[in-house]
Structure 1
Amino acid sequence: MVRGKTEIKRIENATSRQVTFSKRRGGLLKKAFELSVLCDAEVSLIIFSQKGKLFEFSSSSTNKTIERYQKNDKNLRHDKILLEQTTEHLKEEVMSMTRNLEVLENSKRRLLGEDLESCSIDELEMVEGQLDQSLRNIRAKKEKVLMEKNAELREKYEALPLPLFIDQQEDESPQARKMEVDTQLFIGFPER
């Protein structure tokens, strides 16, 4: 015989409801026992009937299982609270960083000469001062780099030996330097 699908809703007939409760309670207790034996799981099942009668199954002590559950539940609640606090802190940090980014973007645009229409005279003077200070800093850095490069080049140049022909000229006497060299160069009309 094929069972039909049972609609899950409260059974109105009290006798039918009591019979169904007894059968399903037995099946549920049997499944809890099987789960604890087959899977070596700690299972506790507590059932109160409509009249307040207690039915229970536990693979170990019910009180021990409940204490374990409460401890685990406290840890979960504590973790959840920490997660919520961390999330809230991160949201505040993101909002703060977003505001800072907007301020920096506005400042950058003004330094590039954009969005100046809404600026007051004081703000324009402040931007001008920032640009002047930036130029001074850039020129100082450029001068420092050039001085360092010049010093490096001077050190390299001083470390090089002087060319050979300069050494020889300094060793020669002034008379030797005035010596004439015959180049056979003739100025005038060519001879026929």
Structure 2
Amino acid sequence: MYVYFIHTSTTSILSRSIGVYTKNKYNHVSIGFDQELMEVYSFGRKQIHNPLVGGFVREDMSSGLFTDAKCQVYRMAVTTEEYYQMKALLQEFEGRRQALKYNFLGLIFLSWGFEIERPNHYFCSEFAATILKNSTNIILPKKVTFMTPQDMTSLPEMELIYEGAISSYLELNALAKFGYPVTWEVPSVAY
């Protein structure tokens, strides 16, 4: 079985600001449970026009800020038991949705190299790392409060299967559903 990690770069002011600071192309990570990216979760904005209201979200990769987003899609092989442990943990997050907040302060402390643990507060890569740490046997290189989206991509279990426009990835998956042959190779041409 596979789980998917979607690293995105949007045109939002917040995304561009983080990119200027980190000098990384992709500054947001989400976890998906199907190749078509119909079931995707992360910590991010709850309102499209207000980046300051954030928390646990189920993301729609075909609309909103993701419409024009660039992405890298990684997949990770997990056992059936790990897959269902991840899903169970996500259900716990879902059940506590109202109490969960975006960890803006943790993100600032991370940039300064200091750790701050805040119950019920997560930023996107902290959330993804928490899911992995508590559901799999994967050894993380850092504490979850220090994990960045780039740290997630460097895990040996991650396999890059696509890079480009997220809309193109979704179109390829739609074609595959109708029986068209689709190869999941990372294009060698920059977009």
Please give the range of the TM-score, normalised by the shorter of the 2 chains: under 0.3
TM-score by length of 1: 0.19
Greater length-normalized contact order (CA 8 Å, ≥ 6 residues apart): 2
Flag the structure with larger Rg.
1
